[in-house]
Chain A
Amino acid sequence: DAMVIQNPRYQVTQFGKPVTLSCSQTLNHNVMYWYQQKSSQAPKLLFHYYDKDFNNEADTPDNFQSRRPNTSFCFLDIRSPGLGDAAMYLCATSSASMGNQPQHFGDGTRLSIL
């Protein structure tokens, strides 16, 4: 089945220690998104890629970076995690040309900061 896969499901890191979350997709969608979701809140868009074009949200902290080496993979790098960055991180994909199609989400990575 075509899908969006996030690894790992659970990640624990230390305060200030860089961490990378990964996302892969078999849908061949040209848009990939990263969201941050805190408890009982809506997902908050951090940035998205349209093919190789990176689009950052205005309020995304500089601490968050992303890489997309190819169509299938996208990474979220948190350079110096703070306690406030503990959250669920969701990756999603969509087809850029079809706004009437839904996003496809992975199961998320839950990040804990010690």
Chain B
Amino acid sequence: GNSVTQMEGPVTLSEEAFLTINCTYTATGYPSLFWYVQYPGEGLQLLLKATKADDKGSNKGFEATYRKETTSFHLEKGSVQVSDSAVYFCALSDKTSGTYKYIFGTGTRLKVLA
């Protein structure tokens, strides 16, 4: 079945460091790919998305490119801030029985130190 694999955390960085969180997926067909962010005590918020191969999603300085050849959707940010500390989830959409279900990775906790 379809699945999402994320790098394990926690990831601890100093402010202004470069961030990469790896995400790879297994899917039949051409799923849409998403990154969500979850701050403590809150629900998941969409960070960015890509719907087809070579699409680049971007938002708030974060970027991820849909790489079909490597089945990857790695999240990057050039200069992290303390406020980026959160848990990041990679996800894909999978159509089954007429509706879309969303498959999540296990999440990667990011801690940014001042």
Contacts and interface: CB of A to CB of B under 8 A. Distances in A.
B is bound to A: yes
Contact of B104 (A43, A94, A100): A43
Interface in A72-114: 90, 92, 94, 96, 98-108, 110
A101 B109 CA distance: 24
A101 B49 CA distance: 8
A41 B107 contact: yes
Given A42-B106, A43-B44, A110-B41, A50 B98 contact: yes
B51 A50 contact: no
B93 A100 contact: yes
B68 interface: no
A110 B97 CA distance: 30
A6 B43 CA distance: 10
Nearest to B46: A102
A41 B46 CA distance: 17
A1 B101 CA distance: 25
A94 to B, nearest CB: 6
A70 interface: no
A106 to B, nearest CB: 5
Contact of B45 (A41, A55, A105): A105
B101 A48 contact: yes
Interface of A: 4, 6, 31, 33, 40-43, 45, 48, 50, 55, 90, 92, 94, 96, 98-108, 110
Interface of B: 31-32, 34, 36, 41-46, 49, 51, 87, 89, 93-95, 97-102, 104-107, 109
The list of the 6 closest CB pairs from A to B, nearest first, reads A105-B43, A100-B51, A99-B100, A42-B104, A100-B32, A102-B46
17 contacts: A6-B43, A31-B100, A40-B87, A42-B105, A43-B44, A48-B99, A50-B98, A55-B99, A90-B43, A90-B44, A96-B98, A99-B31, A99-B100, A100-B49, A102-B49, A103-B102, A107-B41
Given A48-B99, A100-B93, 6 more contacts: A6-B43, A40-B107, A40-B109, A55-B99, A99-B93, A102-B49
